[in-house]
Structure formats: C-alpha cells, structure tokens
Amino acid sequence: MVKVTVCGAAGGIGQPLSLLLKLNQNVDELALFDIVNANGVAADLSHICSPAKVTGHQPANKEDKLAITSALTNSDLVIIPAGVPRKPGMTRADLFNINASIIRDLIANVGKTCPNAAILIISNPVNATVPIAAEVLKKLGVFNPKKLFGVTTLDSVRAETFLGELINEPPKSLKGKISVIGGHSGDTIVPLINVNSTISAKSSKITPAQYKEFVHRVQFGGDEVVKAKNGAGSATLSMAYAGYRFAESVLDSVAGGQTNTSVVPETSYVYLPGLPNGEELSKKSLNGATYFSVPVILEKGEIKSFINPFDSLTITENEKQLVSVALNGLDKSIAQGTNFVKGSK
Ligand code: NAD
Ligand code: LMR
C-alpha cells in the first residue's frame, strides 16, 4: 500500500499535480490537504477510474488538527506546494515571510504523524524552506536527510527544453544528459551542459551569446512565467509536470523499479552532510555549503547516493564560476531558513 499526501492540493500546482498522481498506478491512496477546497478537488478526482482512492482533508477552522492528521497518517510520500506564489516585481525571497511559517507548521505535523515519509518541498523560497523543514525535523528528533527533497526539477525541465531548442535535439533525449545544480532562484541555479559527450559536442557549436542567453533563461525562467501571467501567479502547469516527474521517480523506487545506478538520476536540493560522501563534497568544492542541488540516485524512497558534479561530470571553468556566484546566494537563504526555526519556540 502506497499513500501519497499533497499539502496545498487545491492550488495552482496542487490540482494538476494531484491529477497526475491520481493516474499513477503505484498509488493506492491519495490524500489531498488544503485549507480551502480540498474536498471539492478530492470529489472531482475521485471519479477518475484509476486505482488510487482519493480523500479530501480540509480543516473546519484554525484549531482543527484532525484534517492534517488524517491526511498524513500512514503517508509514504508527502508533497508540499502549499503557500503563496510570486507576483511581478517580487523575488522568491519576498515569499519567505508568509511561506516560512506555513512550511514550519506543516512539517511539524509530518514529523509527528508520518516521520518515515519521503518529503518533497515545492513551496518557495526552496533555498530556505528546505532548511526550515530540516531544522523542524531535527528538533523533533526524526530528521532523515535521505528523505528530504527540495524540488528543483523544473530547472532541469527548462534546461532540457531550452537546450533542446538550441541544439535541435528532442528535449526528452536530454533527460539526465545535462544537470542543473545549486539552488532554486536566479543565479543560484547552475546548468551544466557538458555532462554527456554527445550533447557536449553539439553544445560546443552554440555561440557564446546563445550560451549566455541559455544560462539566463534557465536561471530566470520563473520570472518569464510570472511576467506573462501578469499578477495571476507563477508557473503551475510546468511545475506540476516537474513535481510529478520527481515524485514518479520516488514512487518507482518505492515500488522497487530504481535499484541500480543505471537509472537516470533526478536532481534535488538536499542536506549534504547527512548523505554518504556529502560532507566531503561540501567541504572540498562548495565552501562548506550544507544544502545544494545534486543528481541523486534513489532506492526504496530515499537517496542511495548522489553524483558529485566535481568528480564525475566535466565541469568547465565558466560553470565553476557560476557555482561560486550561486554559493553566495545560497549561504544567505540557508542561514535565513535555519535561524527562523532556531529562533522560534
Ligand atoms: P497557489 O496560491 O495557487 O496555491 C497554493 C495553495 O496552498 C492554495 O490552495 C492555498 O489554499 C494552500 N495553502 C496555503 N496555506 C496552506 C496551509 N497552511 N496548509 C495547506 N495548504 C495551504 O500557489 P501555487 O501557484 O500552487 O504555488 C505554490 C508554491 O509553489 C508557491 O510558493 C510557489 O512559489 C511555489 N513554486 C515552486 C516551484 C519550484 O520549482 N519549486 C515552482 C512553481 C511554484
Ligand atoms: C519557478 O521557477 O517557476 C518557480 O520557482 C516559481 C517562481 O516564483 O518563479
């Protein structure tokens, strides 16, 4: 029996993500939690003829804890797109004031109710909300770094799409052949395009101006959508696709599909010191950064290992430069998220 819980299930990301999860044959139960309209979305999805049993969980009032507890009980995978999205003129960091406490409180419930679940954090700013989640779980004594994932898959999806357009390759064939490391905001996002020799040979033909434009589009793709939506939010449909793609990898690994390193790894923003060889990567190549997005290999719903971009991938001097810029931005967000929890009761 595999139970998946979506927190923020009635939102712009939550609804299409829940639809995709309802179609996954490995899901036996899909619990949809939101402070509004969770029951409506659950009723709607429950009419689809796929195996997952869909349940809605919506608190009757602010004091009602039963809804979140029932949504999380026995959950194997908790996916969190709860919180506010950006409007034009805002950075992801501007969302911290509202989203930090939403994540803190939801994760406290996860830690108490289903501490063994894999947790996927979508809510922004991811660079800080993942450290918040880790600190809450540490306080509760249930932190498993192998099961806490910041979802940065949309950056990979964008990189595959944009590079595919430039080098005339179907984006699908680029999955796992480029890697987007670092964090999830502006210049903390670092696309690496020399991971695979075939792609690297084709990529070497793009002009320096095209490369610069490619990096900028991957780093600021989110802004492109926020601007186009003009006040109606940020990426929801591409994010639902990306979030599902990552969730599917986790579910496959729970079902026993991904048990060896030949499977294409997905990248995720993770707590390095808690992973085998993570401390070494952090100290040797990342100036001690504790959270960083790396390609992870999953097994049984958790991280088995990761690919060290500095060991296994052909990282160029220019890409190393991008990493050092990324580390500056990440430092501040990690400290902000960590201190937020350390400073609260
Ligand atoms: P949205 O406003 O459409 O939906 C958010 C949902 O969260 C709403 O239904 C709201 O009721 C719910 N919610 C608010 N507080 C809650 C709580 N305490 N418990 C449960 N549910 C709660 O927003 P959206 O467009 O779906 O975006 C959600 C978040 O995802 C934003 O923070 C956005 O910045 C982020 N995002 C991240 C990525 C990424 O790549 N990681 C991509 C796109 C968006
Ligand atoms: C994205 O990359 O699209 C998301 O992080 C949403 C945003 O605020 O840009």
Residue 205 has pLDDT above 50, yes or no: yes
pLDDT digits (tens, 9 = 90+) for 254-285: 887 544 334 678 999 999 999 999 999 999 99
pLDDT digits (tens, 9 = 90+) for 162-191: 999 999 999 888 988 899 999 999 999 999
CA 244–ligand 1 middle distance (angstroms): 15
pLDDT digits (tens, 9 = 90+) for 287-341: 999 999 999 999 999 999 999 988 866 788 899 999 999 999 999 999 999 999 9
Active site residue: 47, 57, 184, 216, which one? 184
Name the percent of the chain lying above pLDDT 70.
97
This prediction's pTM: 0.97
Q: Which ligand is nearest to the CA of 129?
A: 1
For residue 137 the two structure tokens come to: 């779980």
> Cβ(154) to ligand 2 under 6 A?
yes
CA 9–ligand 1 middle distance (angstroms): 8
pLDDT digits (tens, 9 = 90+) for 54-72: 999 999 999 999 999 999 9
Name the percent of the chain lying above pLDDT 90.
87
CA 41–ligand 2 middle distance (angstroms): 23
Which residue would you say has higher pLDDT here, 50 or 263? 50
Residue 219 has pLDDT above 80, yes or no: yes
> pLDDT-derived band of residue 206, with 50, 70 and 90 as boundaries?
very high
**Which atom belonging to ligand 1 lies closest to the Cα atom of 234?**
25
Report the alpha-carbon distance of residue 121 to residue 150 in Å, rounded: 5
User: Residue 261 has what pLDDT?
Assistant: 39
Quote the mean pLDDT of the chain. 94
**Which atom belonging to ligand 1 lies closest to the Cα atom of 99?**
32
pLDDT digits (tens, 9 = 90+) for 323-335: 999 999 999 999 9
> Cβ(183) to ligand 2 under 6 A?
no
CA 336–ligand 1 middle distance (angstroms): 20
Q: Which ligand is nearest to the CA of 95?
A: 1
5: number of Cβ within 10 Å: 30
Pocket probe mutation, ligand 2, options 13, 92, 153, max atoms within 8 Å of Cβ: 92
